Amino acid sequence: MKNALVDAILYMFGAIVIKRYPAEDMTRLNLLIKSCRKRFLYHFLALLLPVLLYLFRPLGLSRQQAFLSAALLLVIIWWCSGLVPKLWASVSLLAVFSCFGGTPLRTVFAFPLSETFGLLVLTYLFSRSVENTGLAERLLEPLLARWTGTPLRMVLAAILSLTAAIYVIPQPLARLVIIASIFRAFLEKTDIPSESRAFVLFSVFAFYLIVNMLLLDADLILNVSAVAFAGVPVTKGQWMRFMAPPTLLYLTAALGLLCIVFRGEMRGVRFRVLPTQSSGRLSLSSGRNRAATAVIAGTALCWIAAGLWEEMLPGFLGPAPVTLLSVLLLFALGNLRPRDLKVIDINTLAFLSAAFSIGGVLKGAGVADIVFTRLTAFFPSGDTFSYAVMAVLVSMGIHMLLGSSTTSLSVIIPGFLITAQGILPAQAVLFLCYTSLASHYIMPFHAVSIMVGASAGYFPLRYTVRFGLPLTLLLFFFLLFVYLPWWRFTGLFI
């Protein structure tokens, strides 16, 4: 019945088209019909699971909750398959959440209304300014050209750069975008194969998540939020003692896993910097370029001293106001021009806005509470190891549903603080939940860094699943057999 209906629709479509094309173009028409049939089938399959979810309403979901979950599932399928352009898929999800979410619009549009959104937009422009001045080309690229030459060395350079820049660029997303843009600009001037280039750039975004686990200050959004959700004091020294040693081992193992998963992109690849013509940028001896360089250097110094400025003048000289002032000065100096506004990635901003709305809307609609309540019913009592296994599985499951790590932690940490009484202390619950999610992802919307990189075209979407699945298994192993023993050894729990 379904095939007959499809054939009828395509027959009518062909009857219309054939009037406009001569008989010799029938081959092209047949190809067009086959393409339409295939696309129609893909859209039908994309709708199948969301429709079944809405009709059967598992876990006792209400019609509203089932509708929101089905809409989310459909948009995720669109994101991953590319059936619908990412911009329109994201806008569609925001529209559904706004009209049927039952939550305030401030919750739906939490990301566009946040300081992080504005800072990300400014960071795009600031990164372009760094590129326009040629600072990266003159300072960092000679080091990369000298000490790299293989994909593995580039990955190691990326890890070192992300670690060294923690206190130079305190705002995590700004740090990621700037370093990634520098590495992409350098690799575009080499003869490295395109697949290997995409792999190296993917590693920048993947290891950004792991590097941020080392120190409390490495991610001023996720790390500080996790501590706040737990409501327990954690000093920088405590975080370093409990997290840095096992995370270094985890980072090393993840690097080995990366080499195995992407061995095809690494094997036998060596590259060199190609001879290029002058970029046409102003030289450092130019007065205008010297002024732009001074503005960029001053901005970096203000980022380094952000903590001190916030204490002296709260909210005035934070990262966002400083970056805004810097961008305005760079426009005034002519380093940035109106045509540079095209560097702002609207698709990525819409994608991030939709992804960040998922957790708040599902939590406000009660979907997260239903799933969490059902899962915690299976928790063992009294056995620390068994409890940790279930806690990790539930944390990852909630994260798979909600997407946002921050929102997921806001759900699971308060819940686990109740169920873990008499089994684990509050600090242990905090670190267990945080470590379960900080570097966990399977699809792009599970990690903001992966979303930024995939949306901006740094690497193909398939790399996310290709590395995310085995990394999840590695993380599960390390949590149970490296992190837990280390925390017991250091006295976090008995």
For 167-190, write each residue's pLDDT tens digit.
767 678 778 888 898 898 888 888
How is 291-353 classified by DSSP, letter by letter?
HHHHHHHHHHHHHHTHHHHHHHSTTTSSHHHHHHHHHHHHHHHTSS-GGGGGGS-HHHHHHHH
What integer pLDDT is reported at residue 473 of this predicted model? 95
Nearest to 171 by CA among 235, 224, 234, 219: 219
Residue 351 reports pLDDT greater than 90: no
pLDDT tens per residue across span 373-395: 776 667 776 678 888 898 899 88
Whether the per-residue pLDDT at 281 is higher than 60: the answer is no
Cα 180 to chain centroid distance, Å, stands at: 13
Which tops the pLDDT comparison, 294 or 348?
294
pLDDT tops 80 at residue 37: no
Question: Distance between CA 446 and CA 406 in Å, rounded?
Answer: 10
Query: Taking 90 as the threshold, does the pLDDT of residue 424 lie above it?
Result: no
pTM: 0.70
Confidence tier at 402 by pLDDT (50, 70, 90)? confident
47 in Cβ contact with 13 (< 8 Å): no
Distance between CA atoms of residues 417 and 412, nearest Å? 8
The domains of the chain are located at 2-102, 115-272+282-343, 346-489
Residue 19 predicted with pLDDT over 60: no
The pLDDT, as a whole number, for residue 376 is 66
pLDDT at 308 over 70: no
| Per-residue pLDDT reduced to its tens digit, 107-157 | 889 888 887 788 778 877 887 787 777 776 677 777 787 777 889 999 999
What three-state secondary structure class fits 273? strand
In angstroms, the CA 229 to CA 450 distance is: 24
| pLDDT band at residue 269 under the 50/70/90 scheme | confident
For the segment 156-171, the average pLDDT, to the nearest whole number, is 83
pLDDT in tens, 46-97: 788 888 888 888 888 889 989 998 998 888 788 767 788 888 888 999 999 9
| Spatial CB neighbours of 283, under 8 Å, sequence gap ≥ 6 | 289
**pLDDT at position 16:** 47
Phi, psi of 464 (to 5 degrees): -65, -50
Query: Which of 115-124, 153-162, 300-309 bottoms out in mean pLDDT, i.e. has the lowest?
Result: 300-309
* Closest of 429, 466, 392, 78 to residue 234, by C-alpha: 429
The CA-based dihedral angle spanning residues 262, 408, 473, 475, taken in that order and rounded to the nearest 10 degrees: 90
Which tokens belong to 295? Answer: 């503005």
Please state the φ and ψ torsions of residue 273, each to the nearest 5 degrees: -75, 130
> Does the pLDDT at position 277 exceed 50?
no
- CA distances in angstroms from 166 to 128, 174, 214, listed in the order given: 20, 11, 10
Across residues 465-473, what is the average pLDDT?
Answer: 94
pLDDT of 17: 47
Mean predicted confidence (pLDDT) in 230-249: 90
Does the pLDDT at position 214 exceed 90?
yes
